[in-house]
């Protein structure tokens, strides 16, 4: 005699035992048949398949996850969900996830440590099978909880202190260098550099690379004024506008991320200055508008789709074999010269 109305008023959903009964076999056999984890006779297989259809059975992921101690969930933790760069990254990861029958859990830290901490805790609590993360801070982000929980973790876009697992990042020093060399070659010495957000390793590296290239050049007496800050697009616009109104205004601007590029472009547009005759603009990341504006934006680009794909595939591999040697992939940026960068013109 079983009690009937015990738990919440749940709707009836077929369980594995219902399938077993319908097929006249045991639950173990049904499980084996459905997961392919053991040999099952052809005639039983047939009966089970019919029973699955008849009962409209869908395996319960929660029960399965509890038993397996691992859910079919990947977390993707990014610092800014609206940034087209991350959208592209997420999109690439999603493609692989879908292929692997994994569900993508999206977390947006908004560059905030507290949120990141919470999300990592969530991933652990839900026993996710993987985490791909663009950390909020190189110094302060803490991935140890993931390590302890033995959740495969791939660090993308930004480095983290104290993490030695898989990582897929850009050669950001090279990105900064590429930018500087391009502007140097065009004769620019008075440059406004916009860098941010300050806690990201990408920011730091681009800044270092950019500065180093200038200091190593013949042209030592340059007058770069670089802002390494946490401003967003609209503030970048204000800062740029201010710089353009100054007496000794820059002849070129280098914006080290997508949002800053937009702010800079807008400010220049509003200033009425001619581009690139009066001022050059070199942006970062191939945002959709880069090729729609006139003049079209010259940029330093990243192979972001590849980064996402590689990171996701790495997750798959590490789940198959946790012992594989950590991957430390560093991809190369590219300079795409369009119309906003030109020789200095007095």
Q: Which residues of this chain interact with a second copy, rule CB under 8 A?
A: 7-8, 10-11, 13, 58-63, 65-66, 68-69, 71, 73, 81-82, 84, 87-88, 90-91, 94, 98, 103-108, 115, 121-122, 124-127, 148-150, 262, 265-266, 269, 287-289, 292-294
Least distance between a second copy and beta carbon 276 (Å): 16
Q: Between the CA of residue 90 and those of 80, 300, 301, what are the distances in Å?
A: 11, 20, 17
Residue 218 or 321 with smaller CB distance to DNA: 321
Out of DNA, a second copy, none, what residue 43 binds, judged by CB under 5 to 8 A for its kind, is: DNA
Residues 6+ away with beta carbon under 8 Å from 225: 191, 192, 193, 243, 250
Is residue 37 close enough to count as binding DNA by CB under 7 A? yes
Which of 1, 3, 101, 292 lies at the binding interface for DNA (CB under 7 A)? 3
Distance CA 244, CA 68 (A): 61
Least distance between a second copy and beta carbon 193 (Å): 21
Residue 21 or 108 with smaller CB distance to a second copy: 108
Backbone angles phi, psi at 177, to 5 degrees: -65, -50
Residue 33 or 160 with smaller CB distance to DNA: 33
- Torsional sign, CA 175, 178, 180, 186: negative
Out of DNA, a second copy, none, what residue 262 binds, judged by CB under 5 to 8 A for its kind, is: a second copy
Is residue 322 close enough to count as binding DNA by CB under 7 A? no
Out of a second copy, DNA, none, what residue 238 binds, judged by CB under 5 to 8 A for its kind, is: none
Is the peptide bond prior to 197 cis by the omega test (within 30 degrees of 0)? Answer: yes
Distance CA 320, CA 325 (A): 13
Strands 298-301 and 334-336: antiparallel
Region of 69 please: left (phi>0), alpha (psi -120 to 50) or beta. left
Residues 5 to 34 in contact with DNA, rule: CB under 7 A: 6-7, 10, 12-13, 15-17, 24-32, 34
Least distance between a second copy and beta carbon 215 (Å): 33
Which of 1, 21, 22, 39 lies at the binding interface for DNA (CB under 7 A)? 39
Is residue 137 close enough to count as binding DNA by CB under 7 A? no
Out of DNA, a second copy, none, what residue 16 binds, judged by CB under 5 to 8 A for its kind, is: DNA
Is residue 1 close enough to count as binding DNA by CB under 7 A? no
Least distance between a second copy and beta carbon 115 (Å): 7
| Secondary structure class of 257 (helix, strand, coil) | coil
Least distance between a second copy and beta carbon 167 (Å): 22
Is residue 63 close enough to count as binding DNA by CB under 7 A? yes
- How many beta carbons lie within 10 A of that of residue 7, not counting itself? 6
Give all strands (DSSP E) within the chain, no chain letters: 73-78, 103-108, 130-133, 153-156, 166-170, 191-195, 225-228, 252-255, 280-284, 298-301, 328-331, 334-336
Out of DNA, a second copy, none, what residue 73 binds, judged by CB under 5 to 8 A for its kind, is: a second copy
Residues 6+ away with beta carbon under 8 Å from 287: 84, 85, 258, 261, 262
Strands 252-255 and 191-195: parallel
Distance CA 107, CA 35 (A): 30
Chain length of the chain? 346
Query: For binding to DNA (CB under 7 A), which residues are involved?
Result: 2-3, 6-7, 10, 12-13, 15-17, 24-32, 34-35, 37-41, 43-44, 57, 59-60, 62-64, 66-69
């Amino acid at each position: 005699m079983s009690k009937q109305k015990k738990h919440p008023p749940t709707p009836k959903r077929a369980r594995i035992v219902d399938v077993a009964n319908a097929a006249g076999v045991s639950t173990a056999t049904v499980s084996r048949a459905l997961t392919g984890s053991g040999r099952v006779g052809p005639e039983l297989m047939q009966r089970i398949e019919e029973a699955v259809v008849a009962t409209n059975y869908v395996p319960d992921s929660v029960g399965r996850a509890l038993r397996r101690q691992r859910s079919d969930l990947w977390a993707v933790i990014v610092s800014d969900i609206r940034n087209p760069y991350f959208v592209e990254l997420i999109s690439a990861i999603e493609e692989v996830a879908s292929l692997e029958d994994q569900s993508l859990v999206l977390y947006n830290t908004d560059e905030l440590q507290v949120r990141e901490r919470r999300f990592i805790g969530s991933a652990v609590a839900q026993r996710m099978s993987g985490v791909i993360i663009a950390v909020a801070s190189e110094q302060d982000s803490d991935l140890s909880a993931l390590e302890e929980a033995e959740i495969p973790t791939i660090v993308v876009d930004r480095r983290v202190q104290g993490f030695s697992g898989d990582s897929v990042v850009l050669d950001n020093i090279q990105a900064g260098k590429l930018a500087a060399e391009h502007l140097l070659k065009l004769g620019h010495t008075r440059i406004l550099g916009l860098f941010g957000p300050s806690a990201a390793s990408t920011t730091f590296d681009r800044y270092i690379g950019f500065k180093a290239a200038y200091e190593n050049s013949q042209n030592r007496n340059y007058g770069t004024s670089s802002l390494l800050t946490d401003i967003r697009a609209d503030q970048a616009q204000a800062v740029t506008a201010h710089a353009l109104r100054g007496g000794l205004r820059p002849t070129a601007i280098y914006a080290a991320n997508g949002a800053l590029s937009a702010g800079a472009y807008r400010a220049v547009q509003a200033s009425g200055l001619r581009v690139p005759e009066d001022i050059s603009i070199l942006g970062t990341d191939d945002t959709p508008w880069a090729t729609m504006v006139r003049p079209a934006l010259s940029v330093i680009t990243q192979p972001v789709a590849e980064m996402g794909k590689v990171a996701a595939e790495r997750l798959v591999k590490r789940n198959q074999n946790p012992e594989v040697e950590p991957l430390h992939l560093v991809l190369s940026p590219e300079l795409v010269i369009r119309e906003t960068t030109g020789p200095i013109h007095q």
